[in-house]
Amino acid sequence: MKQAVREQALALGFDECRFAAAAPPVTAPQFLTWLNNQRHGEMGYLERNATKRIDPQLVLPGANTVIVVAASYATREECRPTAVAAPGLASRPSLRAHHPGTIARYARFEDYHTVMGERLKQLAGFVGRLGGPETRSLWYVDTGPVLEREFAQRAGLGFVGKHTNVISRQLGNWLLLAEILTTLPLEPDPPEKNRCGACARCLAACPTGALIAPFQLDARLCLSYLTIELKGSIPLDLRPKIGTRIFGCDDCLAACPWNRFAREARLMKPHARPELGTPDLLDLLSLTEAGFRQRFAGTAVTRTKRRGLLRNVCVALGNSGDASALPALERARHDPEPLIAEHAGWAIGQIRKRATADRPGR
């Protein structure tokens, strides 16, 4: 029965499928301490459903098994370790026509919640048919109250690295996870052990020091949190460290040497949106609400809404130091959305400050 589930998962396009017992997570104390220290920032949902996250029986009474699946989102270029540098930080203003921003690799596709969800729903139905009418299952793609990274390690799919993400010896760490909680009893797979060794490349690569220690992330400093989860103003001292990232950050993932084993995406590849790789910042800054919805429809970028993305775009343009962006930023400074206007004003100040510093005789 277990092999049948795994074969069906692979046939549906997932790159891996493993099984763990639906026992309470052993990392629950660390998770609760992390919450108590407020390292989750404004992600209040993590605190609201914390009791469920540390007890699968509160999510699905009678759960016996957690089926963990993974899908790679690596491209051919990412199937090897990548030299990491903060993108777009020019030492001098540039008059180039293109002002490229950077979007995290996982978001350069149609929304993985939808793509994986369609397949996971089919897999959950298959599990129900195998188990019979008494079988109950719940499936989640990064949306349920489940400490999925622990279950991925417990199921032997990979191990949680020092950057707090799951690393697979077969797939690297360009991974998307999803899970099915089910009452169907299936034999657990052997757990994976940590294989980071003495490597600390991910910690060194983090632009803001958000990885405050091995296996410890302060989300309030993480550029993914700042550009996606944070809904208000970005702290002033962290804005220069964003570079030209406008949605997420890949630096700690790109630094991992296990990526030499990464496999090119199967499930996600047909859903690639290559135009999202390095979009032009000035084009984005001109987007209306309707234009934003049209351009990013069906992608994860919609999560920031227009106000969040254009906030990030303003910061990226300010960090570029490019004086040719000033007219667009001046217009953005009068945007009816106060969040955009405030960050546009900051960006203008940054560009003018750099121009003054670069004048001859200074």
Terminal CA-CA length for the chain: 74
pLDDT for 213-262, tens place per residue? Answer: 999 999 999 999 999 999 999 999 999 999 999 999 999 999 999 999 99
- The pLDDT of 24-50, averaged and rounded, is 96
Closest C-alpha among 86, 75, 91 to residue 245: 86
Half-sphere exposure of 193 (CA within 13 A, CB side): 2
- The pLDDT of 103-109, averaged and rounded, is 97
What band does 286 get if pLDDT is binned at 50, 70 and 90? very high
pLDDT at 98: 72
What band does 84 get if pLDDT is binned at 50, 70 and 90? very low
What band does 188 get if pLDDT is binned at 50, 70 and 90? very high
- Single pTM value for the model: 0.91
Q: DSSP E strands: which ranges in 158-317?
A: 159-160, 166-167, 175-182, 211-213, 216-217, 245-247
- The pLDDT of 180-184, averaged and rounded, is 98
What band does 204 get if pLDDT is binned at 50, 70 and 90? very high
What band does 103 get if pLDDT is binned at 50, 70 and 90? very high
Is the pLDDT reported for residue 91 higher than 50?
no
> Does 142 qualify as catalytic in the annotation?
yes
Within a 10 A sphere around the Cβ of 264, how many other Cβ atoms?
16
Is the pLDDT reported for residue 88 higher than 50?
no
pLDDT at 83: 42
Within a 10 A sphere around the Cβ of 152, how many other Cβ atoms?
29
Give the span between the Cα atoms of 86 and 163, in whole angstroms: 17
What band does 76 get if pLDDT is binned at 50, 70 and 90? confident
Percent of all residues in the chain with a pLDDT value above 90, rounded to a whole number: 90
Is the pLDDT reported for residue 51 higher than 50?
yes
pLDDT at 357: 76
Give burial (CB, 10 Å; 0-12/13-18/19+) of 10.
middle
- The pLDDT of 128-151, averaged and rounded, is 96
Q: Which of 19-33, 69-83, 202-216 shows the lowest per-residue confidence on average (mean pLDDT)?
A: 69-83
What band does 176 get if pLDDT is binned at 50, 70 and 90? very high
Give the span between the Cα atoms of 327 and 347, in whole angstroms: 12
Is the pLDDT reported for residue 87 higher than 50?
no
Is the pLDDT reported for residue 43 higher than 80?
yes
Residue 20 structure tokens: 């763990």
- The pLDDT of 262-281, averaged and rounded, is 95
pLDDT at 288: 97
The one catalytic residue in 15, 55, 142, 250 is 142
